[in-house]
A and B are shown apart, each in its own frame.
Chain A
Amino acid sequence: MMITIKYFGLLAEVTGCRSEKMNFSCTTISDLKEILFQKHKVLKNKKFKIAQHNELNTDKTKVTSSEIALLPPFAGG
């Protein structure tokens, strides 16, 4: 299925896009992360959480939404 990946904060900068569409046939967040790490190697060294349906996911969560958000912490104040 086609899913949209949304990058927040620094992640949008290091991947060079705020959002991107990709064809995705894997089942879990862990699978998805592998694909994203291959596409954007720089993500591997970044801390972030993955959310779908406005809820945080673990690696084992199944991908059921067509929209996935990658959320980093922010340092600035």
Chain B
Amino acid sequence: MNRYNRHIILSEIGLEGQHKINMAKVLVVGAGGLGCPVLQYLAAAGIGTLGIIDFDIVSESNLQRQILFGSSSLGINKAIAAKKRLEDLNTSISIHAYPKKLNHKNAISFFKEYDIIVDGTDNFKTRYLVSDACIITKKPLVYAGIYKFEGQVSVFNYNNGPSYRCLFPNSPKQEEIPNCSEIGVLGVLPGIIGSLQANEVIKIILNLGEILSGKVLYYNSLSHLFNLIKVSRSEKEIQKVMDIADIFENLDEGIRCEVKNNNITLKEALTKKNIQWIDVRNDSDQKTNYPEIIQIPFADLEQNLHKIDKNKKQIVFCHAGIMSKKAVSILQKHKIEDSFSLKNGALEVMNHFKKNNYEKP
């Protein structure tokens, strides 16, 4: 244990704390600017099981900041190149390299194998995927993002704390905010921010100090200012994700694109003629009791297509407009093409029905 002597002699860690570190399992998504320093410090600290997911290969422009790689890594997959370097750094830990893309299909089973997930990704699509999969698998997420000379760090889903979606409920369009490869980044910045992430991982494992949960830290390397902003948990945002937990693994990008133009607001729905409302919420205790609305829980949709009047336009709704999207893609697969997913969900529909005195049977 001489390797960990400087940890062990700290009264806050000791043998017991180092044992906790050696037993921990941490998955790092993305072995880039952030992932490299995170992995380097976690491997050195002796995290017992380290997972690395990255589909990308090392290119020369990565070497300015992605400190696990050298000239000999060029052209090699980042997860594999990182594993090779880290195995030399610490021979006593177990390192798993996954040279593949994280997607809705594989995220849940990957995350279930680990205690803590670290977000070192470089695009919003993957960030929201990581965040949602962490909510569903109830894993703490050590998050960070960088922009030129600035960074933000937080710990999400920790001890009933907020999630990334409580801070930023919806993803910006990818082109709205450029990433490092498009706009450039100070090489040392991800080193600073990734080190802050590694620090939070160790603190979570040891239950040490104040965990950066319920707060987001903004850092500016030019003005050396740290701003700590409080973030509250939003049950609504977390519930929206839990509502899609059952179908999460099927939410591939193809389906999303397919129904892109079939998302409508209540206002737009009401301009259509000859419509049928379909309530696909799975919790059957919420009876709607209006003859205009048929209730088919999402899970039973494919077995109940005969209940749907194909001569009408279908307006499908659920709690939050996510399950209904998936339902519309199923309807369209079965050639019920005049179907639309309501953006805002059941509450708005019910309010509309109440206000306009639709008849109850």
Contact = CB atoms under 8 A, between A and B. Distances in A.
Interface string B27-60: 0001011110000000000000000000000000
Given A74-B150, A76-B185, A69 B32 contact: no
Contacts of B227: 54, 69
B26 to A, nearest CB: 16
Contacts of A74: 145-147, 150-152, 177
A51 interface: yes
B228 interface: yes
Contacts of B146: 74, 76-77
Nearest to A18: B223
Interface residues of A, number: 19
Contacts of B179: 75-77
A75 B229 CA distance: 19
Interface residues of B, number: 42
A8 B227 CA distance: 11
B251 interface: no
Given A8-B218, A77-B34, A47 B121 contact: no
Interface of B: 30, 32-35, 119-124, 127, 144-148, 150-152, 167-168, 170, 172, 174, 176-180, 183, 185, 190, 216, 218, 220, 227-232
B145 A56 contact: no
A47 to B, nearest CB: 4
A53 B139 CA distance: 30
Given A77-B30, A77-B121, A10 B177 contact: yes
A9 B152 CA distance: 10
A41 interface: no
B177 A77 contact: no
Interface of A: 8-10, 45-47, 49, 51, 54-56, 69, 71-77
Contacts of B231: 56
B176 A77 contact: no
Given A49-B167, A75-B179, 7 more contacts: A8-B220, A10-B147, A56-B231, A71-B229, A72-B147, A73-B168, A73-B177
A51 B152 CA distance: 15
Contacts of B170: 47
B174 A75 contact: yes
Nearest to B149: A9
